[in-house]
Amino acid sequence: MIGRNPFVLAGQEWKEKRSQITPAFSNNRLRACFPLVEEVLTRFTKYIKNEHEKDKKAPLELREICARYTTDVVSSCVFNADAQSFTKENSEIRAMGKKFVEALSSFGLVQFLLTSLFPGIQKLLKMRIMDKKSEDFFINLMLQAVKLRESSKIQRDDYLSFLIELRKKKSISDIEMAAHGVTFFSDGFETSSIGISHILYELAGSKNSQQKLRKEINEMIIDENGKIVYENMLENEYLNQVFYEALRLHQPLGIYNRECTEAINLDCGNGKVFKIEKGMGINIPIHCFHRDPENYTNPNEFIPERFDPENGGIKAFQDRGVLAPFGDGQRICLGKRFAQIQVKAAIVDIIRNFELSINEKTQRPLTIEPNHLLNVKVGGLWINVKPLK
Ligand code: HEM
């Protein structure tokens, strides 16, 4: 998303960059990140327990605490740095992340609309969402992380080592390497924290789903030493259903865009045909597909069981193109698997440690902030927590 971001490239140039960076998200590398995620989880649950101890009646705002969690996870996995979002009042990395998100609520929205109408404009005008100061901050952080890794004896098959290797092979420059890291941070922390906060919110509002999931977690995901079994977490059917059902209702990015590369006549039914010209910008409003009663019965309700395997499971809806919180096709979210790890791990740890309910401070029915690019709710998502023994 930023000015020097390699992912804003289009066409062949973009295709090459994307294929170059895709192995960074291989199963082995993602697995290697998990101990870092677990470390942050410990701080996350400790923070919630402490807040509850301070004032047992005070509600918690989900978006803020989830953003602290994802900031710490992504910083740790990409920059090898502890962002200290839970322990330091003015964490520098968290402050920079906040600044970046604020930009998405003003200029970012205008930029999104402009680039979807005129796909070439971003490159032409060298548009950036992240301001120069924040961009320099993250690029320096990335370069420092590389220096530290190279001078230490730490051997870890993670994202950072992948970028260092890529630079050694001279496939990318210093700045490109840093830009990849910054992209990972900017695309990875806010989308996931919005995802986690809505999943927890829906569980807080559905006692049955919450209890059912807690049972699954305790019986199928946690081992006898109280640790999360990584493979079981990723493969658990009910957790996946909860994950997709909440993201169906509240996909962090409601619209994605494409540029038409070949003119086509689109059959709109009832004899109507719409011609899409080559070069035309297309907005795909996935949130409309997600809430269409033709696709889902009771589309506004949170019903993870609609994805039960006997109904065809999640795949049946994905195959029909009506479930795509991560986008679809050649430009599907590159961080989808990483997102599943950091989001599911947080859900598992919170649900096994706390009972959640919705606090009346939440403005219901929920409404989306009209001037924000991402799916952020007016007034925030407030919950009550009760620690479980
Ligand atoms: C719940 C969390 C997330 C959601 C819902 C999400 C959703 C999306 C969506 C809808 C797109 C556009 C896809 C399309 O146009 O077809 C996208 C693109 C992208 N996402 Fe994610 N994302 C999430 C987390 C992440 C994470 C954690 C990372 C990085 C670690 C990431 C990196 C990217 C990148 C790099 C792209 C651009 C891909 C390209 O244009 O080729 N995302 N994401």
What is the residue-level pLDDT of the chain in tens, covering all 389 positions? 333 344 444 556 667 778 888 888 889 889 989 999 999 999 999 999 999 999 999 999 999 999 999 999 999 988 888 889 999 888 888 888 887 777 666 666 666 566 655 556 555 555 555 677 777 888 888 888 888 888 887 777 778 888 888 888 877 787 788 888 888 888 888 999 999 999 999 999 999 999 999 999 999 999 999 999 999 999 999 999 999 999 999 999 988 888 888 999 988 888 999 999 998 888 899 999 999 999 999 999 999 999 999 999 999 999 999 999 999 988 899 999 999 999 999 999 999 999 999 999 999 999 999 888 899 999 999 999 999 97
Pick the atom of ligand 1 nearest to 256's CA. 15
Q: List residues bridging with 385 in a β-sheet.
A: 356
- Residue 252, phi then psi, degrees to nearest 5: -55, -35
Q: Return the pLDDT at 164.
A: 87
Which residues form the domain of 13? 6-223+333-387
Q: Return the pLDDT at 37.
A: 96
CA of 6 from ligand 1 middle (Å) equals 14
Q: Is any atom of ligand 1 closer than 6 Å to the C-beta of 252?
A: yes
Count the domains in the chain: 1
Q: Return the pLDDT at 12.
A: 64
What DSSP state is assigned to residue 190? H
Q: Return the pLDDT at 280.
A: 87
Q: Is any atom of ligand 1 closer than 6 Å to the C-beta of 213?
A: no
Under a CB-based contact definition with an 8 Å cutoff, are residues 56 and 74 in contact? no
CA of 341 from ligand 1 middle (Å) equals 14
Query: Looking at this protein, which amino acid is placed at residue 182?
Result: V
Residue 252 lies in a domain: no
Residue 194 lies in a domain: yes
Q: Is any atom of ligand 1 closer than 6 Å to the C-beta of 254?
A: no
Tokens representing 6 are 């390699």
Q: Return the pLDDT at 257.
A: 83
According to DSSP, the β-strands at 272-276 and 281-285 are: unpaired
Pick the atom of ligand 1 nearest to 325's CA. 5
The C-alpha atoms of residue 368 and residue 371 are separated, in whole angstroms, by 9
Q: Is any atom of ligand 1 closer than 6 Å to the C-beta of 97?
A: no
Ligand 1, residues 180, 326, 333: which to mutate, most atoms within 8 A of Cβ? 333
CA of 329 from ligand 1 middle (Å) equals 12
Domain CATH number, residue 55: 1.10.630.10
**Helix ranges restricted to H, 121-173:** 121-124, 132-151, 159-168
Cis? peptide before 365, omega within 30° of 0: yes
Residue 320 lies in a domain: no
324, containing H or E segment: none
Ligand 1, atom 31: closest residue by C-alpha? 335
Residue 233 lies in a domain: no
Residue 46 lies in a domain: yes
Residue 99 lies in a domain: yes
333 is in an annotated binding site: yes
To 10 degrees, the CA torsion angle through 342, 348, 349, 352?
170
Q: Is any atom of ligand 1 closer than 6 Å to the C-beta of 6?
A: no
Under a CB-based contact definition with an 8 Å cutoff, are residues 110 and 118 in contact? no
Ligand 1, residues 1, 100, 187: which to mutate, most atoms within 8 A of Cβ? 187
Residue 231 lies in a domain: no
Ligand 1, atom 19: closest residue by C-alpha? 333
Q: Is any atom of ligand 1 closer than 6 Å to the C-beta of 259?
A: no
Q: Return the pLDDT at 355.
A: 98
Residue 84 lies in a domain: yes
